[in-house]
Structures are given as structure tokens and as C-alpha cells.
Structure 1
Amino acid sequence: MRLVQISDCHLHADPRARSRAGFPLRQLEAVIEAVNRERPDVVLVTGDVSQDETAASYQLAARTLAKLSAPWFWLAGNHDAPALMAETRELLDELDLDTWRVLLLDTRVGGQPHGELGPERLGRLAERLAEDERPTLLVMHHPPLAVGSAWLDEIGLEDREAFWETLAAFRQVKAIFCGHIHQAFTGYRQLAGSPQRLEERQVAVYGCPSTTDQFLPGAETFAVDEASRPGYRVVDLEAGDLTTWVERVDL
């Protein structure tokens, strides 16, 4: 089973609109062409689909993403309008991939750049994990770890410690995939064992390049990485294990 993650398309209603370092629609089209060569089974779009939060931008996104050769699913980021997204294409919260399960989490806080799950959504996450012991991936927009850029770390998942406390009891969570940071990233969180299983374990967190502008890793303040290229993340799932890497796209 092969998944591909694309993220942070930042499309405008105007297909000719520019970003800081390029043309979002043109770059998304190039990424889609490259993704199709990977022969994915599923494509996940992890938020910030739109820059201007207009119905027209989501309609443009849906028409463009329809060029993917695999089924695709999206979730909302801090720049998105979930109601408009849902009018264009359904927002799902779970994918059944036979021996694997993918839970899509809503971390958006209306009108704010940072993310949060909150007690209600965290409680629901625990309930969902308790229902099924299959190997599970969590997919979300905001990163639940610091990524090493001061300005991005200020607008990550605000209740990250409560999130990790929720996950501590559920060993089937194999990895977390996020958007928001516009760069390749791999980090790990060490989780203590439960009273029944005392050994600790690591859970990996993977970030994804944007299909448009890239952010400069390690920057204290906002900075675009003009030397980097758009990209996507490939995830190969096998029996309870995964392999993942990032690919870049020449324009």
C-alpha cells in the first residue's frame, strides 16, 4: 500500500495568482504529475489548500486534484474554510486501508494560525483508538512537536502535551504526518509505557514540503527557502511497518 502526502497548496481563486516565490497552481500541477508517477493507492492533502478561503479556490483545487491517478482526501489547515471545503468535497475523519487505519484530525482554530485539539476532540480520539487495534497513522495539519524554527514553533499544536498524554496508552499509533511547516521534517517523541507494558517507545512525526513556497529550516523569524523546491512525501505501508521519504519536483 502506497500513500502520498501533499500539503499547503495555498491556491487563490485566480489561477494566475503568484505566491512569494512562484505560481501555486502551476507548482501544484507539477507536483501532481510527479505524484502520479509514484503510482499511489491513496493521496492525502494535509491542509492549507486555499490562501484566500474562497469557494472558487476550493473548486480550482478540486478540479486540479482530480488529475491524480488515485483517490484523494483532504483536511483543513489554518488558512482554510472547512464549510467551503465540505461544499466542494467531503471532509472525512477516517480511512480504512484494510490492515491499516488512518485517522484525520482537525487541529484548526478559527481565525488563528496555531492549532489545538481541545479536550473534546482528544477524548474522541481516545475513544476511536480504543475501538480498533490495527496499525494506525494520524494525519493532521499542525505539528505536535517543535520543529526548530522559533516562529513556527509558536504556531504549532498548542496542546501538544495533552495530545501525547492521550496517545501514551495506544501502541498501535505508528506515526504522525503533518503539514503547516512547508519543509521536510522528521522528529520523534518518546512515550512512557503503560502500567501493563512498561517499556518506552518512540512515535515518529513527519513533516511535508509545500507544493508552493518552502520555509527556511531553523529560521528564528519567517523566511522563505528560495533554494528549495516543491515536494511531497511517499509512505509505503507493509505488515505493521512503514517506510517514508520526501521527493522534490523540478519546475
Structure 2
Amino acid sequence: MVQPLTRRVLQLSDPHLLADPRGHCRGRESLAWLAHGLEHALTQVAPVDLLLLTGDLCQDESWGGYARLRELLESLDLPVALLGGNHDDTVLLRAALGRRAAIAPTALALGAWRLLLLSSHRPGDVAGWIEAPQLAWLDRELAAGTGPVLVALHHPPLPIGSAELDGIGLQRPEALLERLLASQRVRGVVFGHVHQHWAGSVARAGCGAPLTLWACPSTLAPFAAAQSCPLGRPDWPGGRLLELRDDGRLETTLLRWPPLAE
């Protein structure tokens, strides 16, 4: 029997880089922790077809921070997709990295799959927003084909059970969720922002399979976990492997690695 082809996506999130290559965020040297995470993750799961970074790329929202990220990515022979988070300047992000990476909002073909990158960034706001023009773009994308779809954004589009984070997730998420639940093409949603593993699902009307959602740990520093970690070690940095099979199946593997000794 011929096995379905699989596209492998490595998701990392929330590195919180700074213009200073030795700069510290949350008491840790953020660029070094991202490089450390990339090395460990790729050792665990290589080869991969795409590196996906789901937001809060640059804590100080500086050109220098995005230049540090560009320098790190230039050492990789790997396609890259980037989302802006609340700790980002999307104009500088696109200016610094637009030639190196796909930047949200945009769509990517991965075999039979379509990866839809949404931007939930709103300047000056910690919470996330997706405005009407982007929802209209999403409508067109979902209507344009028949293959399976994975959606990625920075802010969680539903409560995750965290008193600290639920108020600063995606605001007015109903319009987005309505579209994702109505389309049988959408097989999963991934996001950052919570600095931890989280998994959940939302039932669809009728007999369709539930919509499954996953959060990704941070490469830098964890927040308090709203859910137990299947691997334990919720204080370790981590990421997620997403395996997109051409027969429409989506499998995920949570990744953890030891903290960087500083």
C-alpha cells in the first residue's frame, strides 16, 4: 500500500528577541534561547518542510530585533513562515524579513494542504483582533479549494482556562470561529501567546469532526500552565511538530528540551 505523503511543520513561538543580540527578556538571553531551541528541535524532528514562528518575535519591536532573527534564519536551509504577535511591529517585520519568509496574512501550499496564516496583531494592544478585511480574505481562501486546511495565528481564539491570559486572547472571536467551524476543510488551529502546551476542541454542528486547537510552548520562558503537560516539565522550553498527511490527517507531537545553561 502506498503511504500518504506527509509535510512536516516545526512550530516555535514567542522568542521575544531584542535589538541587542545579548539582550535579556524575562531574565534570559532571548536570541541564545531561540538558537538553542532550534538546534534541539531540529535534532529531534528533522527533516522538516517548514519552520513556523507564531508571534511575539521581537519584544522591543525594533529593526535590530528583526535583523537578529533574519541573521539566525539565514543559517537555515529551510522555508519559514512568520506571524506578528502583540510584541511585534508588523511593518518592520515585513521590511526586514519579507524576502526571507512568508508573513501573515498569507496562504501557503503544503502538498494537499493549505496553511492559512492570520495576523491577530493590533498596534498598541496586547489582545488580538482580526478585522473584517482579513475575515473576507479567509472566506475567499476557504471557498477556493477542497483540500485540508491548517490555520495559524498568534492569539488563542477561545478561552484556555487561564485567568491571566483569557482576557488578552483574540477579541470578538465569534466571527472567526463561525467560519472555521463551518468549513469541513479546516482540520486544526495552532497559536502561540500562552507560552505553554494546551490542546482543546470545539464541536461542529451536525456530524462533522470537532475542530481541534493547540497552543505552542515558548522557546524562552513559560507562563503558568492552564493544562497538565503530557511530557511533564512544563517549565522547559518547547515547540510542536505538525505532520500534515495528504490524506487529510493531522498529527501533532509536543516537543520539550532542557533549558539553556547561562
The one-letter code sitting in structure 2 at the alignment partner of 1:36 is: L
Q: Does the 8 Å CA contact 2:13/2:56 hold for their aligned counterparts?
A: yes
3-state DSSP of counterpart to 1:162: helix
- Residues 32, 68 of structure 1: 8 Å contact kept: no
- For 2:133 and 2:81, how far apart are their aligned partners in 1? 24
Q: Which residue of 2 aligns with 1:235?
A: 242
- Which is further off, 198-207 or 97-106? 198-207
SS at match of 2:178: helix
Q: Name 1:146's counterpart in structure 2.
A: 159
Deviations 1:188-226 (A, max 9, x none): 11121xxxxx3243111110011101101139xxxxxx9
Cα displacement string for residues 105-162 of structure 1 (whole angstroms, at most 9, x for unaligned residues): 0111110011111222212211210011110000100011211111200000112112
Which segments of structure 1 move beyond 6 Å, counting only runs of 4 or more?
none
Gaps of 5+ in 1: 193-197, 220-225
Q: How far has the Cα of 1:227 moved from its partner? A: 6.4
The Cα of 1:71 is off from its aligned counterpart by 1.2
List aligned pairs for 1:164-175, cutoff 5 A. 164-175=177-188
Alpha-carbon offset, residue 245 of structure 1:
1.6
Alignment pair present for 1:183 and 2:189: no
Shift of 1:36: 2.3
CA distance in 2, matches of 1:66, 1:22: 23
CA distance in 2, matches of 1:162, 1:67: 39
In the alignment, structure 1 residue 79 sits paired with structure 2 residue 87 = yes
| Structure 2 residue matching 1:151: 3-state secondary structure | coil
Distance 1:135 1:237 in 2: 9
Determine the structure 2 residue equivalent to 1:10: 16
- Worse-matched range after superposition: 67-76 or 150-159: 67-76
Give the Cα–Cα distance (whole angstroms) in 2 for the partners of residues 169 and 227 of structure 1: 34
Aligned to 1:103: 116
d(CA) in 1 for partners of 2:197 and 2:87?
20
Count of residue pairs the alignment pairs up: 240
**Counterpart in 2 of 1:218?**
226
Partners of 1:66 and 1:233 lie apart in 2 by 22
In the TM superposition, what is the alpha-carbon distance from 1:187 to its structure 2 partner? 1.0
Which whole-Å CA distance do the structure 2 matches of 1:237 and 1:168 have between them? Answer: 19
Query: How high is the TM-score relative to the length of structure 2?
Result: 0.87
Q: Does 1:34 align with 2:40?
A: yes
Normalising by structure 1, report the TM-score: 0.91
How far apart are the structure 2 equivalents of 1:187 and 1:85? 30
1:55 aligned onto 2:63: yes
The CA distance in 2 between the partners of 1:244 and 1:68, in whole Å, is: 23
Q: In 1, distance between residues paired with 2:253 and 2:109?
A: 22
**RMSD, aligned CA:** 1.6
Identity of aligned residues (%): 36
In 1, the alpha carbon distance for the partners of 2:202 and 2:12 equals: 23
The DSSP-based 3-state class of the residue aligned with 2:240 is: strand
